[in-house]
Amino acid sequence: MTHHIPHMLIEPVVRAALAEDLGRAADITAMACIDADARMSASFGVRRDGRLAGLACAELAVKALDPTARFEALMEDGQDCPPGSVVARVEANARALLSAERTALNLLGRLSGVATLTRAYVRAVAGSGARITDTRKTTPGLRALEKYAVRCGGGVNHRFGLDDAILIKDNHVAACGGVRPAIERARAFAGHLVRVECEVDTLAQFEEALAAGPDVIMLDNFATEDMRRAVAMAQGRVVLEASGGVSLETVADIAATGVDVISVGALTHSAPVLDIGLDA
Q: Report the catalytic residues.
A: 102, 137, 169, 199, 220
Smallest CA-to-CA distance from 251 within 116, 59, 108, 120 is with: 120
Q: Which residues contact 233 (CB under 8 A, 6 or more apart)?
A: 206, 207, 210
Alpha-carbon span 212 to 210, nearest angstrom: 5
- Given a contact cutoff of 8 angstroms between Cβ atoms, the answer to whether 243 and 226 are in contact is no
Q: Which of 70, 72, 129, 139 is the binder for a second copy (CB under 8 A)? A: 139
- Given a contact cutoff of 8 angstroms between Cβ atoms, the answer to whether 89 and 43 are in contact is yes
Min dist CB 257 to a second copy, Å, is: 16
Q: Which stretch binds a second copy (CB under 8 A): 43-51, 122-130, 150-158, 226-234?
A: 150-158
| Identity of the residue, 79 or 103, whose beta carbon is nearer to a second copy in the bound complex | 103
Q: Which of 47, 48, 89, 159 is the binder for a second copy (CB under 8 A)? A: 159
| Identity of the residue, 59 or 241, whose beta carbon is nearer to a second copy in the bound complex | 241
User: HSE of 249 in the Cβ direction (CA atoms, 13 Å)?
Assistant: 1
| Identity of the residue, 7 or 72, whose beta carbon is nearer to a second copy in the bound complex | 7
- Restricting to residues 174-233, name those near a second copy by CB under 8 A: 174-176, 182, 185-186, 188-195, 197, 215-216
- Restricting to residues 44-63, name those near a second copy by CB under 8 A: none
Min dist CB 197 to a second copy, Å, is: 6
- Given a contact cutoff of 8 angstroms between Cβ atoms, the answer to whether 137 and 244 are in contact is no
Min dist CB 105 to a second copy, Å, is: 8
Q: Which of 19, 204, 232, 248 is the binder for a second copy (CB under 8 A)? A: 19
Report the alpha-carbon angle 235-237-213, nearest 5: 130
DSSP assignments along 13-30, one per residue: HHHHHHHHHHTTT--HHH
Q: Which stretch binds a second copy (CB under 8 A): 78-86, 108-116, 122-130, 200-208?
A: 108-116
Q: Does 247 bind a second copy (CB under 8 A)?
A: no
Q: Does 163 bind a second copy (CB under 8 A)?
A: yes
Q: Which of 114, 241, 243, 264 is the binder for a second copy (CB under 8 A)? A: 241
Q: Which residues contact 200 (CB under 8 A, 6 or more apart)?
A: 179, 206, 208, 209, 217, 218, 219, 220
Torsion of CA 86, 88, 92, 95, to 10 degrees: -60
Q: Does 129 bind a second copy (CB under 8 A)?
A: no
- Rg for the chain, CA atoms, rounded: 22
Q: Does 84 bind a second copy (CB under 8 A)?
A: no
Min dist CB 83 to a second copy, Å, is: 15
Q: Does 75 bind a second copy (CB under 8 A)?
A: no
